[in-house]
A and B are shown apart, each in its own frame.
Chain A
Amino acid sequence: MNTPLAALEAIVDASGAAPAIEALLPAGVRGRQLTARTLLTGMLLVLADCQPAHLTEVRKALTSLPEADQERLGVTVTWKNGLHQLTYRQVEHTCRLIIKALGKETPDGAPSQALQSACDQLLEASLPPALKDASTALAGDWTDVEAWSRPPRHGATKCADPEAARGHRTSNLPGPKGELFFGYYLSAAVMTREENGPPVPELARRMTVASCNHDPVRALVPVLEKMPADGIPLGDLLADSGYAHRDANAWAIPMRRAGAQLIQDLHPHDRGPRGTHEGALIANGNLYCPATPKPLLELAPLPPGAAPDTVAGHDQQAAELARHKLGRLTADDADGYHRVTCPATAGKIRCPLRPQSMTLSRDRPEILTPPEHPPACCAQQTITVPPSVAAKTRQKHDYPSAQWRRSYRRRTSAERVNATTKDTASNNIARGWCRLTGLTPLTLWLACLLAVRNQRILHAFDARQAGNARRAAAGIPPTRRKRRTTLAALSASPP
């Protein structure tokens, strides 16, 4: 599907990026024929046509427009000696000026504030106003973007793209699973449905690009932190263990402070018991009774495609673990402190140290060997938990409960963003897609790519919704994606 020119122009105009960039460009004596607005529109046109991010393609796209549009956009102008059509040299000139204006004085591998703002504006403008408040949930992930430049030769430090660096990527293609590459990390936050909400189109809402010398997690945090200031509240934030494993100050604490509710996978090094607080065990972001059975504390999330029996057993274990969790009594105060109470006091288990709990029904677990010298969590009615306790691993749902699993399943929308940027049938950001070197042009092209990709997603979503509505009117159930048959499923239900 080719997005019409009017829709692309509307995105550029709604973003306000073009005038902002234009204001940064030097005002020469002789007027520039190609404006920032037309260049951005041309870039979007190229990507909508599934062409590589080359300036020659931009010129080709602009000069292929109907004459009236060319005239309107300034692709064709009347000079004193007749009509003049845009040349490649002019495209390159305007592009160079924009790159210089949006780049940093001393490139350091991270986007400038002006560049990041332009990207934010473009992506936000690619969302229809009706869908801006459809969901506050975001899924985040990063992927590799290989630079056009070759890495420095062995023993040298100079290369065509000094901002690019060597990074590591995990491949699911045949061959080695992990490999080095030379380039950048593209981080994107995509809108996904609310936990119990209706489906929403998975539109990329924020992105940033950083050199592989920079931590992609730390690069994305300020971008997301700026969203509430722009009037976009943060809700559920889904991220994989790559984000969760970062230092708490790098990810969890700033995101929580910005209002996000984390739903994240834990790195194997962060799972299980990790110290105590007032005698209570700290595990998987929660506090547990000191007599909690050890195998429950070491419960790991289910592998993908687990058999139904395995899922049921895992859920039973997670429910048993939840009974041993200290119950939260208060919300976080202004300083991030909250109070919790022993699970026996909360009536979830039976414990001889809490005689009242022993009168409860025996459907609850009983602590058979309570601590000989009861710690504060067993002796006091409540304990205070400072924000430093489980700061990195604390999240919305108990890890790895059924509720967490269902919620975390939404994170795959971030993977789908990565997949669409590497789709050989449309746009593929593999090496050579963009032959401009440096972070600034690449970031601008990637922002345009995600804006165009949002239009494709919107179109597909609307078509699917309309199809479902038609089927509903005819009394036919909505179409369902065919489930992939797995070996686990086959072994669970033999013929």
Chain B
Amino acid sequence: MNAKVAGYIAAWRPTSVPAEAACFARRVVTAAAPAGRDRAKNLLWAAGKLAGWAIPLGLDPAPQVLLHPSVIERFTAHAPGLSGPARRTLRTNLRFLARAVVPHLDPADVPLPRERARAPYTPSQIAGFLALADAQPTLPRRMRATALVCLGAGAGLIRSDLRNMHGSDICRRPGGVIVTVRGGRAPRAVPVLARYHARLLAAAEFAGGALLTGGTDPARHNISNPLTRSLAGGTGLPPLDTSRLRATWLADCAQLLGLPALMHAAGISCSQRLGDIIAGLDPGGEEQAVALLGASTR
């Protein structure tokens, strides 16, 4: 910690924080040795607020008491008069101070790997999978493999939505093709990307009232494994993964809707706030779904 920061901490005596609380804040922030003045200021504010709340409640102004995880949690989650953002900031800063000053009370977690979104397939890779599907030895297997690729990359269906899909669930509407997801967590109408219309309709016609991806029991598991195995023979093609097929559909839709341009223009890099906003809007019905990808309902 450089002398300038140390001097700032030593001189920190705000009128809004009681003297005893300010003394505690200076002590723990000095022990945490922040790198810059701004960081020191934020940590001093957090420690001062904590001590200002805890000391009147009879807690001893000692780091091992006030920086105990339970005290930090109680203060940040339940102390009156704090806004939501202030609570989050305080908790982050106080946990940082606790890790630095009393590390034995709450050792830091070992960071675990975090998965990002799956990478979409390229158009040539999708074409390769469709070609492999066409090369299957029997008609039923050709149809099932085609349906798997088209439902994944053309409608973004995975897992039970995919397994439960019957031929009758695919229907043509003026301006587009709709896949009706009936069961599962989110029953909905899904528009199919135009380039998969013909193949999907053919597979649906072949399946009729039966399941599109094969089998007789919708509750069956690992039904896609034999199909994906059958499509794994292409040279230079990556393994077929339904999650990547869905990512491909999402990327295509986002591009069609102009979502990247919107997020860039709004300065949003994370979709969380967007989700909060959209949660309050009407998702619409089948007509809106058909119109989603630019098709006309007339």
Contacts and interface: CB of A to CB of B under 8 A. Distances in A.
A248 interface: no
A365 B78 CA distance: 11
B283 interface: no
A293 B57 contact: yes
Contacts of A294: 58
Interface in B64-117: 64-65, 68, 70-71, 73-74, 77-78
Given A368-B65, A368-B68, A362 B57 contact: no
A363 B58 contact: no
A320 B78 contact: no
Nearest to B53: A316
A317 interface: yes
Say what secondary structure dominates the interface of chain B: helix
Interface string A215-236: 0000000000000000000000
A321 B59 CA distance: 12
A324 to B, nearest CB: 9
Nearest to A350: B70
Given A362-B77, A363-B78, A368 B70 contact: yes
A362 B72 CA distance: 10
Interface in A303-336: 313, 316-317, 320-321
A295 interface: yes
B14 interface: no
A363 B57 CA distance: 13
Contact of B77 (A292, A350, A363): A363
B70 A316 contact: no
A281 to B, nearest CB: 13
Contact of A293 (B59, B70, B73, B74): B59
Interface string A165-177: 0000000000000
Chain A contact-residue range equals 10 to 19
Contacts of B68: 366, 368
A368 B70 CA distance: 9
A302 to B, nearest CB: 14
A313 B58 contact: no
Contact of A317 (B58, B64, B74, B77): B58
Contacts of B74: 362-366
B71 A295 contact: no
Q: Which of B57, B65, B77 has the most CB of A within 10 A?
A: B57
A295 B58 contact: yes
Nearest to B65: A368
B56 interface: yes
Contacts of A350: 70
B73 A317 contact: no
B59 A316 contact: no
B56 A316 contact: yes
B58 A366 contact: no
A457 interface: no
Q: Name the residue in A321, A363, A365, A368 with the highest tally of chain B Cβ atoms < 10 Å from its Cβ.
A: A368
A325 to B, nearest CB: 14
A95 interface: no
Contacts of B64: 368
Nearest to B68: A368
Nearest to A369: B65
A296 interface: yes
A362 B56 contact: no
A94 B17 CA distance: 74
Contact of A362 (B59, B60, B70): B70
Given A362-B78, A363-B77, A320 B70 contact: no
A296 B78 contact: no
Contact of A316 (B57, B60, B73, B77): B57
A450 to B, nearest CB: 45
A362 B58 contact: no
Contacts of A316: 56-57
B82 to A, nearest CB: 13
Interface in B194-250: none
B57 to A, nearest CB: 5
Interface string A353-376: 000000000111110100000000
Nearest to A313: B56
Interface in B27-79: 56-60, 64-65, 68, 70-71, 73-74, 77-78
A320 B57 contact: yes
Contacts of B70: 350, 362, 366, 368
B224 to A, nearest CB: 42
Interface in A138-195: none
A320 B68 CA distance: 18
A292 B58 CA distance: 8
Nearest to B60: A293
A320 B71 contact: no
A296 B77 contact: no
A431 to B, nearest CB: 49
A2 B78 CA distance: 60
**Most chain-B Cβ atoms within 10 A of its Cβ — which of A292, A294, A365?**
A365
Contacts of A362: 70, 73-74, 77-78
A364 B78 CA distance: 9
Contacts of A292: 58
B56 A317 contact: yes
A368 B64 CA distance: 9
Contacts of A366: 68, 70-71, 74
A313 B60 CA distance: 17
B58 A293 contact: yes
Contacts of A364: 74
A368 B54 CA distance: 14
Contacts of A293: 57-60
A296 B56 CA distance: 8
A296 B60 CA distance: 11
B149 to A, nearest CB: 49
Interface in A263-307: 292-296
B181 to A, nearest CB: 39
Nearest to B66: A368
A484 to B, nearest CB: 28
A317 B55 CA distance: 10
A296 B70 CA distance: 19
Nearest to B57: A320
A400 to B, nearest CB: 15
A466 to B, nearest CB: 44
Contacts of B57: 293, 296, 316-317, 320, 365
A199 to B, nearest CB: 33
Contacts of A321: 58
A368 B58 CA distance: 13
A130 B57 CA distance: 48
Contacts of A363: 74, 77-78
Nearest to B62: A368
15 contacts: A293-B59, A294-B58, A295-B58, A296-B57, A313-B56, A317-B56, A317-B58, A320-B58, A362-B73, A363-B78, A364-B74, A365-B57, A366-B70, A366-B74, A368-B71
Given A293-B57, A317-B57, A368-B64, 5 more contacts: A294-B58, A296-B58, A363-B77, A368-B68, A368-B70
5 smallest beta-carbon distances between A and B, as pairs: A293-B58, A296-B58, A366-B70, A363-B78, A295-B58
